Structure 1
Amino acid sequence: MPISPIRFSGLASGLDTENIIKELMNAHRIPLNRLMQQRQLLEWQKEAYREVNRLMVNFRKAVEPLRFQGTFLAKKANVSDTTLANVTASNNAVEGTYTLTVKQLAKGASMTSKQLSYDTLDTPLIVNDDQGNPITIPDKIKINGQEVDFTSFKADGKLTVGEFVSAVNAMSSETKVRVSYDTTTKRFFFISTITGSDAKIDFSANIDNADAKKFLEDAIGIIVDPSSLDPSNPDDLKILDQLTGKNAEIVFLGETFQFNTNTININGLTIQLVKDPGGTPITTTITVSRDTDAIYNNIKTFIDEYNKLVDEVNKKLQEPRYRDYPPLTKEQKEQMKEKEIELWEEKAKSGMIRNDSLISGFMAQLRLIAYSTVEPVDSSKWSNGVTNSALKHLAALGIETGSYVDENGKLVYGERGKLYIKDEAKLRQAISENPDDVMMLFTARPNPIDPDQTGTAIDQEHLGLGHRLYNQVNLAISQLSEKAGSVNSLMLVDNSTLGERIKDIDERIARMQDRLVMIEQRYWSQFTAMERALARMNMQSAWLAQTFGGGGQQS
């Protein structure tokens, strides 16, 4: 931004040139202020469209699960002994009662060192030979066949307890082993990160077996099996006092199974074993049934979000437009208090999308879909057949629309198009007794029906409500994004319809600002020229007065 020059105006004329030019420029800035106000109105309108779009996106999240049969095939599992196992059922689980016997849990390998002398994690590891001479700490050892390199952890050739722990744990994803050191008991605790019979903790070092044995036994406190000392095979040291891993063992439907984890997936069930039977097998019962509560909650969530959408959008479509409250200019804001600005702009922003035809059209389509009927392609699509099944619309589930008029016959805009579960028992009964019919009402999706057999059209009459609503809200989101930009767009360039209009106004504002700068400079040039002319006239007048005034006195 150019720095305004320092001007000393009105020295010759005595006029307040700066204020005169300011008033002249205020008149010239009126078209600019109007453009700025137009731009602000477009920004507010864009925000209003995007807020509706956000509501549409939230509604889409609620209606999306209703397109899929899995939502209506949800199962739940109850366990008679919850202290023994936790069980969840997938949609593929078969309803019925199962017997589960837990014989043992899966366990990992573990090992505890003998008591050592290290008081802190900063204490260096110590290892001496049989004569008491220090033995060099190896640069590397192997745990479960994977190298653990101490080189980058050593300080001054020494390796502290903490550095050993860090080095081992840094390789835990490869070795499947972690270690900790407890300064109270002065012991290392090694534990495998996996469970099952394959879990193990094996050590080897790249030095001769005697030194390796010394390092592991004296520095780390691990007892090496003397029979494994073989100079020709340093990678085959065996550790004593090691607890090996075990598989989980269960009996399910009369068959015995073993797993290397306590989280078991079997027959559509996920079984999380919790309690160790302690050597005595424990039996429990698992009951799998349709999760009617989950289905009900999905339908209720859809209705809640639908009503929220209808309520918020209806309010925006009915908001009054206060045309006597245009956006404030910068100069106007400078003369007002913060609270006054807030109240003014609250009215100025009102009614940005009042009676908007685009949004009204979307809402009308959503209402039409919510009241519509789904016809099956053939009787095999419904458990009760075409003629007998009454579950072809939401009203058959006890879901009805809100009243358009109050008890006095007055139109109630707030309730226009809302859905209500008027009969919860009826809905729950339908879910429990006719789950497939409820599922088809929302999820029916026949093969594309097209007279030309091109497979491009789907008969809307046979399409489930979940698909219809999802398709319609997707269309709304797409067109609102074209109008005002995407809700979550991170793009710096806004190519929406309103974005392009704002960009056009920005260009006009820039041109007008350049023109105003030129006009202001012209005014200053004109007034400066006037001041110079007046200064010359004043000088001439003074000279004439001095000349003729002095001559008259001499005569």
Structure 2
Amino acid sequence: MLYSPMRIGGLASGMDIDQIVSDLMRAERIKVDKLYQQKQVMEWQKADYRDINLKLRSLYNTSFDMKLASSYLKYKAIGTMNDGTSFDKYFAVSPGSGAVPGEYKVQVQQTASYARLESSKSIAKPLMGDKLIFDAEGKIEIPEGKFEVTIDGVKKEVTFGGIYQESDINTLAADLEKAINTAFGWQDDENGNTVGIKRVKVSVTDDNKLAIEPADGFNKVQISLSSVKDDEGNPINDILTTLGFKDGDSYRPLNPHTSLKSQLAEDIGEGTISFKINGHQFEFGSSATLQMIIDKINTIPDVGVTARYDALTDKLVLVSKETGLGANIEIVDESGLFKALGFENTSASGQNARIVLNGTIVEKTTNDFTISGIRFNLKEVMEKGQEATFRLENDPDAAVETIKKYIELYNETIDLINKKLSEERYRNYPPLTQEQKKEMTEKEIELWEERAKSGLLRSDPLLDRIVQNLRYAVASVVAGQPAGMKSLADIGITTIDWREKGKLHVNEEKLRSAIAKDPEAVMRLFNADGADSSKDGVATRLYDILKGGIEDITEKAGGGEFQIYDDSILGKQIRDMEDRISNMEQMLLRTEERYWQKFIAMEQAIQFANQQSLWLMSQMNMTGY
């Protein structure tokens, strides 16, 4: 964009100097506009080349895949368990190109597992009451009344009371447990039928204390006890006191973000928390939380262990990162942390996967492994006496689909190139200048540029050479192949109409028949790598041609992999054009300035003449003329 200072002209002459200069510069800009248009054409050509190069690269990558045996030698597994059911429940099988067709018998005796350690019970301690007080006759009388229990924010009134002998203290605990759960909707009858779920478990310690905690299998949530109070806030009865509890007592699950010692002080003690896992030393101060310990374990890869806190069960779980016999967890509990967290064991090992394949025992460290070209994925152990039998057969349908997709991509590629080679060139539709675009609607610009971009690669020799080489590669025979397998036409892949310019059509039945008859011959027809191109397979030829074509287009238009600086032919031409445009723009600035200087000089001369005229007129008036 040109820069020019603000100028006001025509004050003396009365002429529209700005418009005159603008019209003069419009004529001067014609040469620059032509350079801009040439640059735009080259940029469009470059974009077209790169679009084609992307398509060639896609076909190039697929041609590499088609050089692999796995694209043709495809198998399917057909079979059942010995009881007639599917074996999918126990394992999945995926035959590779190296598999050998035949019958296979499989028993899954063991699946690979991780080494695993976890708390044997909830980490948080039960809500423990005081020791129950029995009278001289060995009984305790609990006055019948009500108290309140809040479980996970839901409060219910519990009715309880009775007389219990010290020898029946377990009955007391069971009745209290039943009363609390009944208040929350649990019911049972004489026949053992129940409705609802148990939320609370009540047990008795060796020293005659009641302990309250979430029931086995129930979420570990807060449980609070409170007395029923009168209008003045005083407890109506002393049931809780008799049971050994106080108003406001509560069970709280472990908070992994709060200091462990504040929650397990009696078990951990006051010293440093220290332990070893698989020989790696860990030490933490008194303010350490369980989450801090977990995060530290998980951030050290050499430990080979992943730790997590399960809030549902209130347990710490350690799992090895690998499966198999080599996966181990060894803990040295120096400060008693893991004992406090409920760990009964401090060592564990994983186990290998084990199958019996055609009478041979095979062990692997993972459940996903390959034997003799067959990939197994074990899911579940079979019961004794169970066995799966499957048969590997050629799968021509899968190979047909692979070849069809390859041919479709080939057709898309040559269709794109042929379209560019035959597009009509509209030379009367050059790229629009900015001035021209200002006078047109968006739709008009779109239609114009559609024609301006058309035919930029028409009859391009580089593209024509590539497409002709591709067509010759797929049409010519492959030397060394058996009779009936020498060309694509022999297996049902042919051209139909010359006007389609080399487009291939697939006769699926003929192709399927050829694969079923001799899959290896079909494979070699595509992927043979001979001493010269006449003995190369079709995919091998295409791979080489495409590699050269991609390199030639990259040299012409850039866009190669990892290319930082565009040193292509078009790239250099565009940069040269930009330099020429920059020089021309500078020249236009000087030209415009020269025009303005001339008009300013004219204005000054007119102004001077006007001043002289006024002076003469004033002199004549003074002398009476």
User: Fold-level match, TM-score > 0.5?
Assistant: yes
- Equivalent positions of 1:108-123 (< 5 A) are 108-113=114-119, 114-117=121-124, 118-123=253-258
- Distance (Å, rounded) in 1 between the aligned partners of 2:573 and 2:486: 46
Picking from 542, 545, 551, the partner of 1:472 is: 545
The residue number in structure 1 matching 2:520 is 436
CA contact (8 A) 2:327 2:349 kept: yes
The residue number in structure 2 matching 1:25 is 25
The residue number in structure 2 matching 1:451 is none
CA contact (8 A) 1:263 1:272 kept: yes
Picking from 96, 102, 109, the partner of 1:96 is: 102
Q: Aligned-pair distance for 1:128?
A: 9.5
The residue number in structure 2 matching 1:191 is 319
Greater fraction strand:
2
Q: Aligned-pair distance for 1:427?
A: 0.8
- Distance (Å, rounded) in 2 between the aligned partners of 1:544 and 1:20: 32
- Distance (Å, rounded) in 2 between the aligned partners of 1:351 and 1:82: 57
The residue number in structure 1 matching 2:534 is 461
- Distance (Å, rounded) in 1 between the aligned partners of 2:31 and 2:113: 80
Q: Aligned-pair distance for 1:517?
A: 0.9
The residue number in structure 1 matching 2:470 is 366
- Equivalent positions of 1:70-469 (< 5 A) are 70-78=70-78, 80=80, 81-113=87-119, 114-117=121-124, 118-126=253-261, 134-138=269-273, 140-148=274-282, 150=284, 157-171=286-300, 173-204=301-332, 209=334, 212-213=335-336, 215-218=337-340, 220-223=341-344, 239=345, 244-277=349-382, 280=384, 282-376=386-480, 382=481, 389-404=483-498, 412=499, 415-421=500-506, 423-446=507-530, 448=531, 458=532, 460-469=533-542
Question: Gaps spanning 5+ residues in structure 1: where?
Answer: 224-238, 377-381, 405-411, 449-457
Task: Note if 1:530 corresponds to 2:624.
Answer: no
Give SS of 2:429's match: coil
CA contact (8 A) 1:79 1:86 kept: no
Q: Aligned-pair distance for 1:333?
A: 0.8
Aligned amino acid, residue 22 of structure 2: K
- Measured against aligned partners, the alpha-carbon deviations of 1:81-101 in whole angstroms (never above 9, x if no partner) come to 111111222322222111111
Q: Aligned-pair distance for 1:342?
A: 0.9
- Distance (Å, rounded) in 2 between the aligned partners of 1:552 and 1:142: 125
Aligned amino acid, residue 501 of structure 1: Q
Aligned amino acid, residue 393 of structure 1: S
The residue number in structure 2 matching 1:484 is 557
Question: Gaps spanning 5+ residues in structure 2: where?
Answer: 81-86, 125-252
- Distance (Å, rounded) in 2 between the aligned partners of 1:131 and 1:168: 24
- Distance (Å, rounded) in 2 between the aligned partners of 1:288 and 1:252: 14
- Distance (Å, rounded) in 2 between the aligned partners of 1:394 and 1:28: 61
Aligned amino acid, residue 418 of structure 1: K
The residue number in structure 1 matching 2:191 is none
CA contact (8 A) 2:305 2:318 kept: yes
Task: Note if 1:47 corresponds to 2:182.
Answer: no
- Measured against aligned partners, the alpha-carbon deviations of 1:399-457 in whole angstroms (never above 9, x if no partner) come to 110213xxxxxxx4xx2211101x321111111111222122222223x4xxxxxxxxx
The residue number in structure 2 matching 1:6 is 6
Give the RMSD, CA atoms, in angstroms: 2.5
Name which of structure 1's ranges 535-544 and 36-45 shifts more when overlaid on structure 2. 535-544
CA contact (8 A) 1:79 1:87 kept: no
Q: Aligned-pair distance for 1:359?
A: 1.6
- Distance (Å, rounded) in 1 between the aligned partners of 2:22 and 2:265: 99
Q: Aligned-pair distance for 1:331?
A: 0.7
- Distance (Å, rounded) in 1 between the aligned partners of 2:361 and 2:40: 73
Aligned amino acid, residue 516 of structure 1: L
CA contact (8 A) 1:128 1:135 kept: no
Q: Aligned-pair distance for 1:295?
A: 2.3
Name which of structure 1's ranges 162-171 and 520-529 shifts more when overlaid on structure 2. 162-171
Task: Note if 1:508 corresponds to 2:580.
Answer: yes
CA 513–444 in structure 1, closer or farther in 2 if over 3 Å, else same: same
Give SS of 2:114's match: coil
- Measured against aligned partners, the alpha-carbon deviations of 1:371-393 in whole angstroms (never above 9, x if no partner) come to 111121xxxxx5x5xxxx12111
CA contact (8 A) 1:127 1:134 kept: no
CA contact (8 A) 1:110 1:189 kept: yes
- Measured against aligned partners, the alpha-carbon deviations of 1:76-121 in whole angstroms (never above 9, x if no partner) come to 4445311111122232222211111111212222222132224433
Give SS of 2:520's match: helix
Give SS of 2:546's match: helix
- Measured against aligned partners, the alpha-carbon deviations of 1:156-203 in whole angstroms (never above 9, x if no partner) come to x511222222122222x3222222223333221222222223333222
CA contact (8 A) 1:296 1:428 kept: yes
Give SS of 2:104's match: strand
CA contact (8 A) 1:65 1:298 kept: no
CA 216–52 in structure 1, closer or farther in 2 if over 3 Å, else same: closer
Give SS of 1:189's match: strand
CA contact (8 A) 1:29 1:516 kept: yes
Aligned amino acid, residue 306 of structure 2: R
Q: Share of identical aligned residues, percent? A: 36
- Distance (Å, rounded) in 1 between the aligned partners of 2:510 and 2:268: 87
Runs of 4+ in 1 over 4 A off after TM superposition: 127-134, 487-490
- Distance (Å, rounded) in 1 between the aligned partners of 2:407 and 2:299: 51
- Measured against aligned partners, the alpha-carbon deviations of 1:478-537 in whole angstroms (never above 9, x if no partner) come to 22222222365642x322222222222212111111111111111111112222222222
Q: Aligned-pair distance for 1:33?
A: 0.6
- Distance (Å, rounded) in 1 between the aligned partners of 2:484 and 2:402: 21
CA 39–130 in structure 1, closer or farther in 2 if over 3 Å, else same: closer
Q: Aligned-pair distance for 1:123?
A: 2.1
- Distance (Å, rounded) in 2 between the aligned partners of 1:319 and 1:476: 21
Task: Note if 1:62 corresponds to 2:72.
Answer: no
CA 469–258 in structure 1, closer or farther in 2 if over 3 Å, else same: closer
CA 89–142 in structure 1, closer or farther in 2 if over 3 Å, else same: same
CA contact (8 A) 1:109 1:199 kept: yes
Q: Aligned-pair distance for 1:38?
A: 1.0
Give SS of 1:251's match: strand
- Distance (Å, rounded) in 2 between the aligned partners of 1:427 and 1:419: 13
CA 65–200 in structure 1, closer or farther in 2 if over 3 Å, else same: closer
Aligned amino acid, residue 305 of structure 2: V
Give SS of 1:282's match: coil
- Distance (Å, rounded) in 1 between the aligned partners of 2:289 and 2:265: 22
Aligned amino acid, residue 115 of structure 1: S
- Distance (Å, rounded) in 2 between the aligned partners of 1:427 and 1:131: 78
Aligned length, in residue pairs:
490
CA contact (8 A) 2:107 2:386 kept: yes
CA contact (8 A) 2:254 2:263 kept: no
Aligned amino acid, residue 288 of structure 2: L
- Distance (Å, rounded) in 2 between the aligned partners of 1:170 and 1:283: 43
Name which of structure 1's ranges 327-336 and 268-277 shifts more when overlaid on structure 2. 268-277
CA contact (8 A) 2:107 2:382 kept: no
- Distance (Å, rounded) in 2 between the aligned partners of 1:310 and 1:129: 74
